[in-house]
Amino acid sequence: QVQLVESGGGLVQAGGSLRLSCAASGSIFRLILMGWYRQAPGNERELVASITRAGSTSYKDSVKGRFTISRDNAKNTLYLQMNSLKPDDTAVYYCGAHSGQTDYWGQGTQVTVSS
């Protein structure tokens, strides 16, 4: 019903920036929330940032002031701008979309931050 394709990951030095993109297609009108999640080795998948249908945003405390979630409705694309990256940000980042009944996931994109 909903397909998500992520891009923008890569290798960056500490203090650098990356912008992740998530292109959504399908029955996107029923979605009530979209978010970015990450999973580092040995850790559970965690919510990093989310945005509601109305545009309200929320962030994990450790990324506040560094990450910004946004969307371009005309392009059906979700973004995560990541600045001042730290080695602890290293993880596979996933785009998630939620309808209240069903969760959809992208395949993930690797972000590696070197010291």
- The predicted pLDDT at position 65 comes to 98
The pLDDT assigned to 29 comes to 85
Residue 42's Cα: distance from chain center in Å? 19
Q: 40-44 long-range contacts, Cβ below 8 Å, gap at least 24?
A: 40/88, 40/90, 40/91, 40/92, 43/91
Cβ(39)–Cβ(54) under 8 Å?
A: no
Q: 108 in helix, strand or coil?
A: coil
- pLDDT tens digits for 18-59? 999 999 999 988 899 999 999 999 999 999 999 999 999 999
Please write the tens of the pLDDT for every residue from 53-95.
999 999 999 999 999 999 998 999 999 999 999 999 999 999 9
pLDDT at 39: 98
